[in-house]
Amino acid sequence: MTEHSTIQKQERPAEAPLYRQLLEALRRDIVSGVFPVGAQLPTEQALGLRFGVSRHTVREALRALRADGLVRSRRGAGTVVARSGAPGPYVHTVASIQDLVSYAHETRYEVDTSRPVVSDKRLAERLGCAEGERWQRIEGLRYAPGHEAPICWTEVYIRAEYSGVARMVAQRPGPIYAWIEDLYGERIAEIEQVLRARPVPAAVAGVLRVKPGATGIEIRRTYRLTAGTAAEIAFNLYPADSFSYSMTLKRGAG
């Protein structure tokens, strides 16, 4: 009989999310050869029953495995083991705001600097705000599970009246906009996302392991309140040769 990994409490701290425990159990099975390259993983329902977790938890674990490059999934074909070695390029799959929440929890944001700034003409043009506005600027690197090198350089601007959330960024994972909602009773009504190519600045080229001026892919996300005010603006800069972006478009009813 083939033995499969199980979620064992003694192997992970009690506070570890269930999807993280399931992720590590499945990763052990893949690396040890229980599920060799080319093998199909059990269905989401079967995994949920075996490990005693919800289908949502299974999906979060499988999404992280795809991000690590260990499996690939195709509609109607299930999830297949892709490799057992080093992870491939990071794949960011976005189909909903919940996927952004998962991204914030799955990856690790290591803050380098955090300081208040006042928008001059150049910064105002970049943020799409008026000159003289006050923001909290947070800069650092984001890491994906199984990746030693950072996947992107992240620069976040939080409107000054919500800057109290800055102290939480380095302490626990999660999306910054959710802390703005929780601490200040606000509601983020929309998230605008814009992708563009831009040269990687010399100041961050070394840590991203690319040459200064190399092409990068920048994702700018603007988090707007119900009134239309931007509460948070985040810039994520990825090396172009190691970034893949996937978005699922679904046809509406009717």
Give 64-102 pLDDT, tens digit per residue.
Answer: 888 777 888 776 678 888 755 444 556 656 666 766 767
Return the beta strands (E) in 144-210 as ranges: 152-159, 188-199
pLDDT tens-digit series, residues 130-159: 999 999 999 999 988 767 778 899 999 999
Evaluate if residue 236 carries a pLDDT over 50: yes
- Other Cβ atoms closer than 10 A to 6: 14
Cα 50 to Cα 31, 44, 57, 77, distances in angstroms: 19, 10, 13, 21
pLDDT tens-digit series, residues 2-59: 444 444 433 333 445 787 888 888 888 887 778 888 888 998 899 989 888 888 888 8
- Position of tokens 């690319």? 210
pLDDT-derived band of residue 244, with 50, 70 and 90 as boundaries? confident
- Report the pLDDT value the prediction gives residue 88, as an integer from 0 to 100: 54
CATH of domain 11-81: 1.10.10.10
Evaluate if residue 222 carries a pLDDT over 90: yes
- Report the pLDDT value the prediction gives residue 2, as an integer from 0 to 100: 45
- Report the pLDDT value the prediction gives residue 119, as an integer from 0 to 100: 97
d(CA 164, CA 169): 10
Evaluate if residue 111 carries a pLDDT over 50: yes
Q: Give the whole-number percent of the chain exceeding pLDDT 70.
A: 80
Evaluate if residue 184 carries a pLDDT over 70: yes
Parse the chain into domains and list their residue ranges: 11-81, 90-247
Q: Which fold would CATH assign to domain 90-247?
A: Chorismate lyase (3.40.1410)
Evaluate if residue 254 carries a pLDDT over 80: no
Question: Mean pLDDT of all residues in the chain?
Answer: 82
Least confident of 4-18, 217-231, 238-252: 4-18
3-state DSSP call for residue 18? Answer: helix
